Amino acid sequence: QVQLVESGGGLVQAGGSLRLSCAASGSIFSINVMGWYRQAPGKTRELVARISSGGSTNYTDSVKGRFTISRDNAKNTVYLQMNSLKPEDIAVYYCNARGMVGGVLYERWGQGTQVTVSS
């Protein structure tokens, strides 16, 4: 089992920055990909960024050049550095981990952290 605990959300003015953290525990050796998703009110959850165990990254177009995903393997933590925040970035942000144990794929979610941007 993998457990994810997020932190770092909050309220920031437009143009400001926040850094989200996601600490993984449990069977972390089984994780292949970790990512950040977000869900705005009335909208479906969408991928923001993800990073593979090999370090390759992907971003949704709306955050390219503003957000950076990174991982600290020694701390089993993934970060999302969010710069130049906009009101349209307001959402609950969820950490996600995908992997395989015993030949069975799994997916885990964190509890979510609110990001609010004031204009």
**From CA 4, how far away is CA 112, in angstroms rounded?**
10
Question: Tens digit of pLDDT per residue, the chain (119 long)?
Answer: 899 999 999 999 999 999 999 999 988 888 899 999 999 999 999 999 999 999 999 999 999 999 999 999 888 999 999 999 999 999 999 999 999 988 999 999 999 999 999 99
Structure tokens at 8: 């770092």
Name residue 36's beta-bridge partners: 49, 95
SS3 at position 30: helix
Q: Do the strands 113-118 and 10-13 form a parallel or antiparallel pair, or are they unpaired?
A: parallel
